[in-house]
Amino acid sequence: MKILYTAFKGKNNSSKILLDNINSDNKLYLTNSFKTSELELQKELDKDYDLVISFGQAPLDSNTIKIETTAKGESEYITDYDYNDLYNKLKREYKVIISNNAGNYLCNSIYYYGLKYIKENNLKTKMIFIHIPKKFDIKKFLDTRGVDL
């Protein structure tokens, strides 16, 4: 399975730190800009990935992993990725919820335009967005997750 992992750039961004620690050649560090990040992702989506796993940093007061199902904009896009297995494995070790609100900033934007591009171009690619808490033991997550990320 060909997987693309994405996260936004930033020194103290938990999602970027997680991406730094994922062992894959298919990683995309997104620019913290609505239009630029959209174009960066679209360029990668044309490379025929099976799955895109996008990470973002959860709000500062959150200690919960949020698996996002829905991106909202001019319309609403719902992922067709089957996230139940991921949820069940993560909940063994972490506080995790299924969310239908990816926020209203860069995270929602990249998810929205990613899902929109996939649909409009009839790609077979699946996409999921996961919010990672700021205070998060990334090494433990990668070592003990039991989840193929």
Identify whether the C-beta of residue 14 lies closer than 8 Å to the C-beta of residue 20.
Answer: no
pLDDT digits (tens, 9 = 90+) for 5-14: 999 998 888 8
pLDDT tens digits, one per residue of 37-80? 999 999 999 999 999 999 999 876 778 999 999 999 999 999 99
State residue 135's pLDDT score.
Answer: 77
Query: If you search the block for the tokens 């044309």, which residue do you land on?
Result: 46
Cα(86)–Cα(124) distance, integer angstroms: 20
What is the tens place of the pLDDT at every residue in 16-29?
A: 999 999 989 999 99
Cα first-last separation, the chain: 11
Distance, CA of 138 to CA of 60 (rounded, Å): 16
| Rounded-to-integer distance, Cα 111 and Cα 129, Å | 7
**Single pTM value for the model:** 0.91
Ordered by start, the domain boundaries in the chain are: 3-144
What is the amino acid identity at position 43? K
Give the CATH fold of the 3-144 domain.
Answer: Aminopeptidase (3.40.630)
